[in-house]
């Protein structure tokens, strides 16, 4: 029975979720309307439900909603400010790092957490950080290009602007 | 004459349609749609036996769970469905045929109640002997998976063999193979095997169905590649008029063939059409661990290939026997078998061809469409065999391939002439870019490095009459809306359609919107499969856009009293340079033009276009011969530079180079994406994928924990992709499909590179670490070839588990 109240800060706004003991944070937030979090596996394998909780990237399917009491939660919806995309989102679009888009919100959030912690990641560090996010469409190389591009933009070093390989 | 100017037509690199919404997370997939608190939820009760009579379904405990409304069994919805062969029911009737087959469906007020109750339904079976080995099933009829095969309806281009386990037998009989083998200087025989593999899309299956109680009209929201085919299969299955079934296909999170045809829609519909539940929407969301059990996967296969080669290295004959393991249903799986058969010669000019391709029923989850549709299967065997033959003849594998390439005018195995293509140039480029003949030392200490090559070829093996149609609407402000019922599942077709419309109308790309399909609003399209959309639907969209342009120009010509040839559309503005006129497109295109004679003419302007392949003829069922069996072939080549760690069997790809003849690149961003993505999907299949079963037919690796697919750590350091453009004759702009082709050659190229690195030839996919390790150990003992029965590895796991 849904009779437990959980108070969180969701994308900067105080939000109350009404849940059962067994409700995962993923399902609670999806029910609340945050459908950018996807149900890809519901067992922590695919990363499509990744959000940032208290500064760390987390798979929301592995967290019970009640565990999130008082937490500060950021989802991909929270990255869009006044109608403007976050540079990570823009870089994913520009580099062709999106195909079906099902893994994209999770990929973007993991990238966001990576670049907060490590603004200049190497290829190897990018791969390590994103290893828990599965993408079946792109073959990942475009995602690596997008992460590098957003790192360059966010650190103010765009190295001559977004180059597109114009075939 | 076409007189337009645009900067956003075909061939331009532009941001893809709907990527913005995907990046924002606002694009709604089927699971994201909301239906309010009247929504019911269904959960599936699955068979625990591989083959057995269903004696009793006891739902008494399940019905005690609060919120549970109904438990349905097969007899409640006794309809047969299938695209090519109607051999399956949504819920098993009388007999369960694989572990995981739906045997009951629980419907409840909440998802939690439904899945909890599904565990409480008790089903008792009388177990029957099961069969798992496709070769045994094909050659020994002691266990029949479908004793009623003779009763099933099927399309006339497949040939089921009643009273056997063969659901389709496709044959090629070209030339005199017997004589070719008798007189050949060299004859070879090799066998290659591969288990079933899974699509691994990140979005699982999700359908919501509702039937209006009064009118009986059905609405289906579903994660489907082909809404019209879903509607068609359901209409035929339940004998219902098409106009009373509406299929809405929201964006889907990856398809790869796994969401083609009809998948779980009928299962969901069984609940929505129930007399007690009718009127309420019912949602069926398939959890990850049930995905491979709910619909088809890629068929496993055992391939035997014999090749006859002349003294001077020309291929004289080929004999292929392919046993495709299609599990319990060949409703879709009958056709990749035909598709593989169509290309039995690979990319080579072989005058004498004998091929038998069988779709074989076994008591396993079923096989069907998967990216490449029979060709990754065929070519991951054939391209390895060609490599083996070259090495045995001591001819350079590249030279051997080039010497035997199927060139323009030479006939394929079905007797149709090959069209012009750039394969030879592509092979040369791959060799050059990979420095393929240069044996380089391994980058990693103690590892062995090798380079390999393989060719790719594939035609769209659709029914001969697979058609498309489109509507292009011009709005009162010059913006455009396109209704083309292709599913953009990530391949980016809507971007391609918008670029085609921009090319034809001179209207900027950003002013053009392409909508996700709904059978209520969109005109007909067969399916989003076969890499056919930019070609077949591309034709329809191009025709619709040019019709619209001609209508618009004719109105302006009369309005300005000038010949139509003097008018152009430039960047969204209609111009007549002769008269110095320049006007924006405005409400006149919907309300009509007040002509100089005072009469209002025009009205809302729409363009329509249809396309059906004009000249395809089904092959003769006994010989597989036809003047033109497929529309065209896309050809390509892949080179791989890899290293293997002999201590662990781990393989890492350093660099991949992949090139294809796409005819014309409409959306370069998509082609690059398709080549990179398909390459990694192909490598993933080659290195780590395979569905494993225990001796009772229970799937051991149903989720991503156990069924490994490539993560970012497995992607090669570099993929260099390129394409050539030898135009196709019947095509909107000369373009050919390339979406699936990128998955064909990576596996055999990697296998060939492994041989180059180690001198060991592995005949069984996947080239998993343990298999490579074992093979290299066998090599130390002097073995040169390593072969494991497809299910040997699974049995080894079982033995190991018992020992532990």
What pLDDT is attached to residue B716?
97
Query: Per-residue pLDDT tens for A70-96?
Result: 999 999 999 999 999 999 999 999 999
Query: Per-residue pLDDT tens for B664-700?
Result: 999 999 999 999 999 999 999 999 999 999 889 999 9
Q: Other C-beta atoms within 10 Å of B143: how many?
A: 18
Verify that B597 and B644 share a domain, yes or no: no
The CA dihedral of B582, B586, B592, B594, to the nearest 10 degrees, is -50
Verify that B450 and B357 share a domain, yes or no: yes
Which of A102, A127, A130, A163 should one mutate to test binding to chain B, selecting the residue with the greatest count of B CBs within 10 A? A102
Q: Are A40 and B285 inside 8 Å of each other by CB?
A: no
Name chain A contacts of B712, Cβ cutoff 8 Å: 126-127, 130-131, 133, 135, 140, 143-144
For residue B379, give the H/E element and its range: helix B375-392
Contact A130, A107 (CB under 8 A): yes
Mean pLDDT of B417-435: 98
Structural domain includes residue B680: yes
In chain B, what percentage of residues exceed pLDDT 90? 97
What is the token pair recorded at B334?
């009958």
pLDDT at A163 over 90: no
What's the rounded Cα separation, in Å, for the pair B680 and B715?
Answer: 6
Residue of A nearest to B674 (CA): A138
Mean pLDDT of A105-113: 98
What is the token pair recorded at A71?
């937490």
A95 and chain B in contact, CB less than 8 A: no
Contact B103, B125 (CB under 8 A): no
Q: Are A93 and B16 inside 8 Å of each other by CB?
A: yes
A45 and chain B in contact, CB less than 8 A: yes
What's the rounded Cα separation, in Å, for the pair B241 and B139?
Answer: 42
- Neighbour-count burial of B101, counting CB atoms closer than 10 A to its CB (0-12 exposed, 13-18 middle, 19+ buried): buried
Q: Other C-beta atoms within 10 Å of B475: how many?
A: 16
Verify that B359 and B437 share a domain, yes or no: yes
Structural domain includes residue B682: yes
How many residue pairs from chains A and B have C-beta atoms closer than 8 A? Answer: 183
Going by their DSSP bridges, the two strands B218-222 and B245-248 should be labelled as parallel
What is the token pair recorded at A144?
């690596």
Verify that B736 and B678 share a domain, yes or no: yes
Contact B419, B730 (CB under 8 A): no
Verify that B286 and B355 share a domain, yes or no: no
Which of A139, A147, A167 should one mutate to test binding to chain B, selecting the residue with the greatest count of B CBs within 10 A? A139
pTM above 0.90, yes or no: yes
Which residues make Cβ contacts (< 8 Å) with residue A84, sequence separation at least 6?
Answer: none
Question: Bridge partners of B512?
Answer: B480
Structural domain includes residue B197: no
What pLDDT is attached to residue B804?
46
What's the rounded Cα separation, in Å, for the pair B527 and B513?
Answer: 21
- Cα of B58 to nearest chain A Cα, Å: 27
Contact B195, B692 (CB under 8 A): yes
Structural domain includes residue B81: yes
The CA dihedral of B306, B310, B315, B317, to the nearest 10 degrees, is -50
DSSP B94-154: SEE-STT-EEEEEEESSHHHHHHHHHH-EEEEEE------HHHHHH--SS-S-TTGGGS-B
Verify that B124 and B78 share a domain, yes or no: yes
- Cα of A7 to nearest chain B Cα, Å: 23
The CA dihedral of A74, A77, A82, A86, to the nearest 10 degrees, is 80
For tokens 């090959």, the residue is B418
What pLDDT is attached to residue A101?
98
Query: Per-residue pLDDT tens for B745-757?
Result: 999 999 999 999 9
Query: Per-residue pLDDT tens for B216-252?
Result: 999 999 999 999 999 999 999 999 999 999 999 999 9
Residue of B nearest to A136 (CA): B201
Mean pLDDT of A97-119: 98
Domain end: B590, B611, B632, which one? Answer: B611
Query: Per-residue pLDDT tens for B446-481?
Result: 999 999 999 999 999 999 999 999 999 999 999 999
- Of B240, B284, B248, B290, nearest to B264 by C-alpha is B284
Tell me which fold the domain A4-78 belongs to.
Answer: Ubiquitin-like (UB roll) (3.10.20)
What is the token pair recorded at B450?
């090798």
Verify that B287 and B330 share a domain, yes or no: no
Mean pLDDT of B732-739: 97
Residue of B nearest to A84 (CA): B24
Indicate which CATH number applies to the domain containing B739: 3.30.365.10
Confidence of residue A167 (pLDDT cuts 50, 70, 90): very low
Q: Which comes out higher in pLDDT, residue B791 or B645?
A: B645
Average pLDDT, chain A: 93
- Cα of A167 to nearest chain B Cα, Å: 6
For tokens 């070609």, the residue is B535
Please count the CA atoms within 13 angstroms of the CA of A93 that sit on its side-chain side: 19
Confidence of residue B103 (pLDDT cuts 50, 70, 90): very high
- Of A35, A44, A55, nearest to A133 by C-alpha is A44
- Cα of A6 to nearest chain B Cα, Å: 20
pLDDT at A1 over 80: no
Confidence of residue B792 (pLDDT cuts 50, 70, 90): low
Contact B517, B220 (CB under 8 A): no
What pLDDT is attached to residue B795?
58
Mean pLDDT of B387-401: 98
Structural domain includes residue B162: no
Q: Are A137 and B254 inside 8 Å of each other by CB?
A: yes
Q: Are A76 and B24 inside 8 Å of each other by CB?
A: yes
In Å, how far from its chain's centre is CA A11? 12
Q: Are B16 and A96 inside 8 Å of each other by CB?
A: yes
Per-residue DSSP letter, B536 = I
For tokens 């999130």, the residue is A68
Verify that B512 and B560 share a domain, yes or no: yes
Mean pLDDT of B610-639: 97
Q: Is the peptide bond before B271 cis (omega within 30 degrees of 0)?
A: no
Structural domain includes residue B157: no
Name chain A contacts of B204, Cβ cutoff 8 Å: 39-40
What is the token pair recorded at B527?
């399916």
Mean pLDDT of A96-124: 98
Q: What angle do CA B374, B377, B379 make, to 5 degrees?
A: 105
Query: Per-residue pLDDT tens for B162-177?
Result: 999 999 999 999 999 9
Query: Per-residue pLDDT tens for B749-787?
Result: 999 999 999 999 999 999 999 999 999 999 999 999 998
Verify that B364 and B450 share a domain, yes or no: yes
pLDDT at A159 over 80: no
Nearest to B202 among A20, A102, A143 (CB): A102
Name chain A contacts of B710, Cβ cutoff 8 Å: 140
Nearest to A43 among B288, B491, B713 (CB): B288
Question: Bridge partners of B457?
Answer: B635
Query: Per-residue pLDDT tens for B8-44?
Result: 999 999 999 999 999 999 999 999 999 999 999 999 9
Name chain B contacts of A141, Cβ cutoff 8 Å: 676, 680, 715-716, 718-719
Q: Are A141 and B719 inside 8 Å of each other by CB?
A: yes
CATH 3.10.20.30 domain span(s) along chain A:
4-78
Name chain A contacts of B254, Cβ cutoff 8 Å: 99-100, 102, 136-137
φ and ψ at residue A103, rounded to 5 degrees: -90, -10
For tokens 């074992």, the residue is B774
What's the rounded Cα separation, in Å, for the pair B112 and A2?
Answer: 12
Confidence of residue B794 (pLDDT cuts 50, 70, 90): low
Contact B760, B649 (CB under 8 A): no
What pLDDT is attached to residue A165?
30
Q: Are B24 and A80 inside 8 Å of each other by CB?
A: yes
Mean pLDDT of B639-644: 98
pLDDT at A161 over 90: no
What's the rounded Cα separation, in Å, for the pair B45 and B51?
Answer: 16
What's the rounded Cα separation, in Å, for the pair B151 and B378?
Answer: 30
In Å, how far from its chain's centre is CA B510? 30
Q: Are A75 and B25 inside 8 Å of each other by CB?
A: yes
Mean pLDDT of A15-40: 97
Name chain B contacts of A30, Cβ cutoff 8 Å: 32
End-to-end CA distance of chain B: 76
What's the rounded Cα separation, in Å, for the pair B566 and B679?
Answer: 48
What's the rounded Cα separation, in Å, for the pair B9 and A160?
Answer: 27
Q: Are B288 and A41 inside 8 Å of each other by CB?
A: yes
pLDDT at A166 over 60: no
Which residues make Cβ contacts (< 8 Å) with residue B463, sequence separation at least 6?
Answer: B155, B157, B526
Which residues make Cβ contacts (< 8 Å) with residue B275, sequence separation at least 6?
Answer: none
In chain B, what percentage of residues exceed pLDDT 70? 98
User: Whole domain around residue B701: which residue ranges?
Assistant: 297-406+415-462+618-803
- Cα of B718 to nearest chain A Cα, Å: 8
What total number of domains does chain B contain? 3
Average pLDDT, chain B: 96
Query: Per-residue pLDDT tens for B312-331?
Result: 999 999 999 999 999 999 99
Maximum separation of any 2 CA atoms in chain A, in Å = 57
Confidence of residue B798 (pLDDT cuts 50, 70, 90): low
Question: Bridge partners of B665?
Answer: none
Contact B496, B534 (CB under 8 A): yes
Provide the ipTM: 0.96
Mean pLDDT of B199-212: 98
Residue of A nearest to B255 (CA): A100
Tell me which fold the domain A87-154 belongs to.
Answer: DNA polymerase; domain 1 (1.10.150)
φ and ψ at residue B356, rounded to 5 degrees: -125, 115
Question: Bridge partners of B161?
Answer: B166
Q: Give the torsion sign (CA, B677, B683, B687, B689).
A: positive
Nearest to B25 among A76, A128, A143 (CB): A76
Nearest to B13 among A30, A139, A166 (CB): A166
Contact B608, B549 (CB under 8 A): no
Confidence of residue B415 (pLDDT cuts 50, 70, 90): very high
φ and ψ at residue B236, rounded to 5 degrees: -70, -35
Going by their DSSP bridges, the two strands B315-327 and B300-309 should be labelled as antiparallel
Query: Per-residue pLDDT tens for B561-593?
Result: 999 999 999 999 999 999 999 999 999 999 999
Contact B447, B631 (CB under 8 A): no
A28 and chain B in contact, CB less than 8 A: no
pLDDT at B412 over 50: yes
Per-residue DSSP letter, B199 = -
Query: Per-residue pLDDT tens for B106-135?
Result: 999 999 999 999 999 999 999 999 999 998
What's the rounded Cα separation, in Å, for the pair A61 and A47?
Answer: 9
Verify that B121 and B270 share a domain, yes or no: yes
Contact A18, A2 (CB under 8 A): yes
DSSP B627-643: S--SS--EEEEEEEEEE
Domain end: B583, B611, B639, which one? Answer: B611
Mean pLDDT of B68-76: 98
φ and ψ at residue B187, rounded to 5 degrees: -130, 135
The CA dihedral of A104, A108, A114, A117, to the nearest 10 degrees, is -160
Query: Per-residue pLDDT tens for B510-564?
Result: 999 999 999 999 999 999 999 999 999 999 999 999 999 999 999 999 999 999 9
Verify that B582 and B665 share a domain, yes or no: no
Nearest to B254 among A43, A100, A133 (CB): A100
Mean pLDDT of B715-734: 97
Give helix B746-758 / helix B668-688 axis angle, nearest 10°.
50
3-class secondary-structure state, position B478: coil
Confidence of residue A162 (pLDDT cuts 50, 70, 90): very low
What pLDDT is attached to residue A158?
53
- Of B765, B786, B708, nearest to B379 by C-alpha is B765
């Amino acid at each position: 029975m849904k009779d437990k109240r959980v108070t969180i800060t969701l994308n900067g706004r105080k939000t109350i979720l009404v849940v059962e003991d067994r409700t995962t944070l993923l399902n609670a937030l999806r029910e609340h309307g945050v459908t950018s979090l996807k149900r890809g596996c519901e067992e922590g394998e695919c990363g499509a439900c990744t959000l940032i909780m208290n500064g760390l990237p987390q798979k929301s399917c592995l967290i019970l909603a009640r565990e999130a009491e008082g937490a500060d939660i950021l989802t991909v919806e929270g990255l869009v400010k006044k109608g403007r995309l976050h540079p990570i989102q823009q870089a994913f679009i520009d580099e062709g790092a999106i195909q079906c888009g099902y893994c994209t919100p999770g990929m973007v959030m993991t990238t966001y957490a990576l670049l907060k912690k490590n603004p200049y990641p190497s290829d190897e560090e990018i791969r390590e950080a994103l290893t828990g996010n599965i993408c079946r469409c792109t073959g990942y190389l475009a995602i690596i290009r997008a992460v590098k591009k957003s790192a360059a933009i966010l650190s103010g070093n765009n190295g001559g602007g977004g180059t597109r390989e114009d075939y | 004459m076409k007189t337009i100017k645009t900067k956003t037509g075909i061939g331009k690199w532009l941001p893809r349609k709907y990527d913005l919404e995907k990046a924002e997370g606002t694009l709604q997939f089927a699971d994201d749609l909301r239906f309010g608190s009247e929504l019911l939820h269904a959960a599936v009760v699955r068979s625990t036996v591989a083959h057995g009579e269903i004696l009793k379904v006891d739902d008494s405990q399940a019905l005690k769970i609060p919120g549970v409304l109904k438990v349905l069994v097969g007899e409640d919805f006794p309809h047969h469905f299938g695209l090519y062969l109607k051999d399956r029911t949504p819920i098993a009737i009388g007999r369960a045929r694989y572990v995981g087959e739906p045997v009951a469906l629980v419907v409840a007020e909440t998802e939690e109640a439904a899945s909890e109750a599904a565990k409480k339904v008790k089903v008792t079976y009388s177990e029957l002997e099961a069969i798992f080995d496709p070769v045994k099933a094909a050659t020994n009829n002691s266990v029949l998976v479908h004793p009623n095969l003779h009763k099933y309806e099927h399309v006339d281009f497949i040939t089921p063999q009643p009273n056997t386990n063969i659901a389709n037998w496709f044959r090629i009989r070209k030339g005199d193979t017997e004589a070719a083998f008798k007189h050949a200087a060299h004859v070879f025989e090799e066998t290659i095997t591969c288990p079933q593999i899974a699509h691994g899309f990140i979005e699982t299956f999700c359908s919501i169905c509702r039937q209006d109680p009064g009118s009986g009209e059905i609405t289906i929201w579903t994660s489907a590649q082909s809404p019209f085919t879903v509607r068609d299969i359901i209409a035929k299955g339940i004998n219902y008029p098409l106009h009373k079934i509406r299929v809405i296909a929201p964006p889907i999170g990856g398809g790869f063939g796994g969401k083609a045809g009809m998948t779980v829609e009928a299962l969901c519909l069984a609940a929505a059409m129930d007399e007690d539940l009718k009127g309420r929407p019912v949602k069926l969301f398939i959890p990850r661990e049930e995905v491979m059990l709910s619909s088809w996967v890629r068929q496993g296969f055992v391939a035997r290939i014999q090749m006859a080669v002349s003294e001077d290295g020309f291929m004289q004959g080929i004999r292929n026997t392919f046993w495709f393991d299609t599990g319990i249903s060949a409703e879709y799986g009958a056709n990749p078998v035909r598709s593989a058969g169509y290309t039995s010669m690979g990319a080579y000019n072989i005058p004498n061809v004998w091929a038998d391709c069988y779709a074989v029923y076994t008591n396993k989850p079923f096989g069907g469409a998967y990216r490449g549709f029979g060709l990754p299967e065929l070519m991951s065997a054939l391209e390895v065999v060609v490599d083996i033959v070259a090495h045995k003849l001591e001819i350079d594998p590249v030279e051997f391939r080039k010497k035997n390439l199927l060139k323009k005018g030479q006939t394929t195995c079905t007797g149709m002439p090959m069209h012009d293509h750039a394969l030879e140039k592509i092979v040369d480029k791959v060799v050059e870019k990979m420095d393929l003949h240069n044996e380089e030392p391994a980058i990693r200490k103690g590892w062995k490095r090798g380079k390999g090559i393989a060719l790719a070829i594939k035609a769209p093996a659709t029914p001969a009459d697979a058609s498309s149609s489109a509507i292009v609407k011009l709005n009162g402000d010059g913006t455009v809306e396109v209704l083309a019922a292709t599913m953009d599942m990530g391949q980016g077709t809507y971007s391609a359609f918008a670029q085609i419309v921009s090319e034809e109308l001179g209207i900027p790309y950003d002013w053009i919107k392409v909508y996700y399909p709904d059978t209520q609003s969109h005109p007909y399209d067969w399916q989003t499969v076969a890499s056919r959309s930019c070609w077949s639907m591309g034709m329809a969209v191009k025709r619709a856009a040019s019709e619209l342009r001609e209508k618009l120009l004719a109105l302006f010509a009369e309005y300005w009293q000038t010949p139509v040839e003097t008018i152009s559309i430039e960047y969204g503005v209609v111009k007549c340079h002769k008269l110095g006129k320049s006007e924006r497109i405005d409400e006149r295109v919907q309300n009509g033009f007040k002509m100089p004679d005072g009469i209002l003419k025009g009205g809302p302007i729409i363009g329509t276009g249809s396309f059906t392949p004009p000249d395809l003829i089904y092959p003769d069922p006994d010989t597989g011969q036809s003047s033109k069996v497929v529309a065209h072939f896309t050809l390509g080549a892949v080179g791989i530079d890899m290293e293997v760690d002999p201590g662990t069997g781990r393989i890492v790809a350093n660099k991949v180079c992949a090139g294809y003849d796409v005819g014309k690149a409409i959306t370069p961003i998509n082609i690059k994406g398709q080549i990179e993505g398909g390459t990694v999907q192909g490598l993933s299949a080659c290195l780590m994928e395979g569905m494993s079963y225990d001796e009772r037919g229970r799937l051991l690796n149903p989720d991503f924990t156990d069924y490994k697919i490539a993560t970012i750590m497995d992607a090669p350091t570099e993929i260099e992709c390129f394409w050539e453009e030898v135009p196709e004759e019947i095509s909107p702009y000369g373009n050919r499909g390339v979406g699936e082709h990128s998955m064909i050659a990576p596996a055999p190229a990697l296998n060939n590179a492994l041989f180059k690195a180690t001198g060991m030839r592995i005949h069984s996919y996947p080239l998993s670490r343990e298999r490579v390790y074992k093979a290299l150990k066998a090599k130390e003992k002097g073995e040169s070839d390593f072969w494991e029965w497809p299910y040997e590895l699974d049995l080894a796991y079982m033995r190991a588990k018992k020992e532990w």
